[in-house]
Amino acid sequence: MAGRVLNGIWKLFTSLELGVVLVVILTAFMVVGALLPQGMDDEFYLKAWDEGTYHALRDLGFLDIFHRPLFLIPAVLLGLNLLCCSIDILRNFLPKTITARYVVSALYHLALVGMFVGFLATYLFSYGGELIIKPGESVHVPLKKGETAWARLAPRLGLAAPVNEDTPYELHLKSFETTYVEKDGRIFIKDWISDLEVVDGGAVVAAKRIEVNDPLVYGGMKYYQAFFDQKMKFDVDGEEQELGPGEPLAVGDEMLMVSTVKSGTLLGDDGPTPLGPYVELKEMSKDKWHRVTKDVRPGRRLDRGQPVDVGTCRVTFVSFEESSGLTYKRDPAVKFLWVLWITFTALIAVRIYVQESVLTWFRKEG
């Protein structure tokens, strides 16, 4: 009886049809996840929808669908389906005939199973965060081990949960620079560069000038150049206003958009030259739903310390403070996933692109 049940379960999990059905179910949930913004705060949703719609969608789990059993259960079942199919392929073909085609097929299915395990490891163990550092500043990085899915799960399994702690070393930002290029009279950001040092026990143990797409790796942690932060001070007719990026400036009765501060190095054909600091003032631009939109047209230039008349008011861009925005992340599964991704892609390409005659060349008759 038990044997028959197990046999039935095995048959179910080795069936191609189950795989197709599970992929279709997961796809349907992914469509929902793609069309409904995921994991935002209440305020975000309530701006777009009425309360009833929001609560209905939230209660159905549609606003955090990728972390809900609704999605995770079919995903795990698909992983099991893939594992069983891979074992079945190997089991059926090992004793009699081994063709390279079937070995390749079993291996890329197994690589896909491994990727599922890797995704699970990322979900359970990865942690990270954001840092805003001013040039010259040093910080201990908070390791948010206590905020991982594993930290929530471990106590339920009777295991000790990891706790938050700070890195024993300090991260020091020597300097932060923005580079620009000019195209058709307009200035565009080329890159953000942070000159970072890792200081442990008073000694510099690692250093790198990081930029977008080129992180610093130290102690299993990766530090990425992600964004920048600016605080600007303006004087409008003797009244001081402090603004962050995207915040409007009140000039008389008008609210004006302020661009980010352009300050750094302009990379031109004649070599690097200093740029700014200056900002541009623009009229508030809104779309048909009256939402403030980004206006790419050049505005009125305000150099630091040089007052200009805007309407009846005298506006001065007084000063600014700039910080580097870093994200950091530790994900123990990433290297494992890289290997599996390359294996999977290479094997699936071999399986499809290499002629069957070449693959069957490795055939062994049992």
Partner 1 sequence: MLSAVDQGIYIALIPLYGFLAVTHVLRRNGIPQLSWAVLFLNTALIILRWVEVGRTPFSTLYECLSLFAWSGALAYLLVQRFGGEKVRWSGVVLFAMMAAAMAYGATRDPTVKPLSPALDSIWFEVHVIPAFASYALFVAAFAYAFEYLGTGARRERLDFFSRKLILFSFPLLSFGVFSGAGWAEEAWGTYWSWDPKETASLVTWCVYLAYIHASRSPRFARVPSRVLNIIGFVSMMFTFLGFNVVAKLLGLPTAHAYT
Interacting residues with partner 1 (CB under 8 A): 16-17, 19-20, 23-24, 26-27, 30-31, 33-35, 37-40, 48, 66, 119, 122, 128, 181, 183-184, 188-192, 211-215, 222, 224, 226, 291, 327-329, 331, 334, 337-338, 341, 344-345, 348-349, 352-353
Residue 281 corresponds to which tokens in the numbers above?
Answer: 């003032």
HSE (side-chain half, CA atoms, 13 Å) at 289: 4
Least distance (Å) from partner 1 to the CB of residue 318? 28
Least distance (Å) from partner 1 to the CB of residue 352? 5
The residue (of 154 and 348) whose beta carbon lies closer to partner 1 is 348
Least distance (Å) from partner 1 to the CB of residue 108? 10
The residue (of 80 and 308) whose beta carbon lies closer to partner 1 is 80
| Reduced 3-state DSSP string for 82-121 | HHHHHHHHHHHHCCCEECHHHHHHHHHHHHHHHHHHHHHH
Q: Residue for token digits 């070599």?
A: 271
The residue (of 21 and 308) whose beta carbon lies closer to partner 1 is 21
The residue (of 175 and 306) whose beta carbon lies closer to partner 1 is 175
The residue (of 123 and 308) whose beta carbon lies closer to partner 1 is 123
Least distance (Å) from partner 1 to the CB of residue 334? 6
Q: Terminal CA-to-CA distance of the chain, rounded, Å?
A: 34
Q: In this structure, which amino acid lies at residue 100?
A: A
The residue (of 6 and 12) whose beta carbon lies closer to partner 1 is 12
Among 251, 236, 115, 265, smallest CA distance to 176 is for 265
Q: Residue for token digits 């085609």?
A: 101
Give the other-Cβ count within 10 Å of 347's Cβ.
20
Least distance (Å) from partner 1 to the CB of residue 297? 12
Least distance (Å) from partner 1 to the CB of residue 293? 11
Sorted by sequence, the CB contacts under 8 Å of residue 238 that are 6+ apart come out as none
Among 325, 276, 329, 327, smallest CA distance to 176 is for 325
CA-to-CA separations, 231 to 97, 258, 278, 322, in angstroms, rounded: 70, 12, 13, 7
Least distance (Å) from partner 1 to the CB of residue 15? 9
The residue (of 126 and 241) whose beta carbon lies closer to partner 1 is 126
Torsion angle of the four alpha carbons 84, 89, 95, 101, in this order, in degrees rounded to the nearest 10: -150
